[in-house]
Amino acid sequence: MSWTLEGLKVIDLCRSYPPAFAAMILADYQAEVIKVDPPGYRFPIPMKGGTEAFSAFYALDRNKKSLSLNLKSEQGREIFFKLAKQADVIIENSKPGSMEKLGIGYLTIRNLNPRIIYCSVSGYGQDGPYKMYPGHDSNYLALSGILDMIGEKGGPPVTPSNLIADMAGAGVFSLTGILMALLAREKTGKGQFIDISYTDAVFSLLSFETAMYFLTGIAPRRGETFRTGSEPCYASYKTKDGKYFNIACVEPRLWENLCRALDLDQLIPYQWPTDEKKRKEVFSLLRRTFIKKTRNEWWEWVKDKDIGAAPVSELEEAFNDPQLVHRKMIIDLDHPNLGKVKQVGFPFKLSDAVCKFRNFAPIAGQDTTGILNDLGYGEKEINELKALGVI
């Protein structure tokens, strides 16, 4: 019998999308995820095609429901408390102390529901001297030491979109913390509070770099380690068509295969050149070699040669990549008004679990009536709440 998260109830209070990713994964596995939006809420960044198009393509809220609710009102909090009594998980990413000011902080909810798992996600964490500072992905990368390692030697730091601290950090770590707390609850019967910091999360990803620093006493600098582009065996090379081809031949076997396939056997002893002159020579020779063919020609050439390499794809190209298509990481969905809609697929492949698309991201508040009906509110009460601006 296949496994799902059906029956798990999650309240998503997130106002930004990295921790909403955690709630999306739970929803993909059929947990009931209710996204609480303030009345009249609209996504803060204008989107081409308006609200309907945005909801169709915005995968991070897919499979969720949306409840319009004014949490600053007494009646709104009463509704929230009814939801929280039934919930398994609450996830929020407001400034530390915000939930307590609203009267819906962890201690309050725990008294109503001792089994609640309450995940708070913030830039610097719930305590410490920086806890109230605003921030974004690049700030957390900067503080953690990661941003200083990204870019060419002698050049400025390069901001790598928002994929590290936001998504790999807050998004994935929130999901991990929630799943660990759910597992713990199976043993103890009790919920708990989870404090996720974007900065803590991204700093923990430096485990290898910090180990090398503590071991050698030498801190990595951008462009001065093989992971930051210092070595010819681990770099991207410009091709004939102006695109780039990446090689990552860290193992001696892969490097030897590359050199022999290129008829550059003389480079085999210089996988890790010990002096700068030789390093420049190897780089120069490989650059002169890779510029002779287009990126896709190199990709076809390398496929049967047991070499760590890949084309540097542009995003729109990745959506047609045979491997990603085969792995169903691009899914085509039928939208009632927009026709075929593409979204990123499901990243977890479990042999005995059902992960599926059920609905597009909801327009803010579209499930309010149904959710309130489930909580026991009748039509008259719902109309009164609407008139008061509670929903």
One DSSP character per residue, 259-322 reads: HHHTT-GGGGGGSS-SSHHHHHHHHHHHHHHHTTS-HHHHHHHHTTS---EEE---HHHHTT-H
Q: Are strands 330-335 and 339-344 parallel, antiparallel or unpaired?
A: antiparallel
Mean of all residue pLDDT scores within the chain = 94
Higher pLDDT, residue 161 or 307: 307
Of the pLDDT bands very low, low, confident and very high (cuts 50, 70, 90), residue 167 is very high
Residue 343 and residue 335: Cα distance in Å, rounded?
12
Q: What is the pTM of this model?
A: 0.92
Task: Return all residues near 365 (Cβ < 8 A) that are at least 6 apart.
Answer: 37, 39, 41, 66, 67, 68, 391
Of the pLDDT bands very low, low, confident and very high (cuts 50, 70, 90), residue 344 is very high
* pLDDT tens digits for range 221-251: 998 888 888 999 999 999 999 999 999 999 9
Residue 324, pLDDT above cutoff 90: yes
- Per-residue three-class SS string for 180-196: HHHHHHHHHCCCEEEEE
Query: How many other C-beta atoms are found inside a 10 Å radius of the C-beta of residue 220?
Result: 21
One of 3.20.20.70, 3.40.50.1370, 3.30.1540.10, 3.40.50.2000 is the CATH number of 226-238+244-311, namely 3.30.1540.10
Residue 301 and residue 5: Cα distance in Å, rounded?
45
Query: Residue 53 has what pLDDT?
Result: 82
Q: What percent of the chain has pLDDT over 70?
A: 98
CB distance 10 to 34 below 8 Å: yes
Q: What is the CATH number of domain 9-205+325-387?
A: 3.40.50.10540
Compute the average pLDDT of residues 75-104.
97
Helices and strands in the chain: count of H runs, count of E runs = 16, 11
Q: Which of 366, 315, 319, 371 is nearest to 52 (CA)?
A: 366
CA dihedral over 232, 233, 238, 240, signed as positive or negative = positive
Catalytic positions, written as ranges: 166
Q: What are phi and psi of 370, to 5 degrees?
A: -65, -40
Residue 43, pLDDT above cutoff 70: no
Compute the average pLDDT of residues 286-304.
98
Lowest-pLDDT choice from 1-5, 79-83, 213-217, 286-290: 1-5
Residue 101, pLDDT above cutoff 70: yes
Domains of the chain, by residue range, sit at 9-205+325-387, 226-238+244-311
Residue in the block written with tokens 């009463």: 78
Task: Return all residues near 262 (Cβ < 8 A) that are at least 6 apart.
Answer: 289
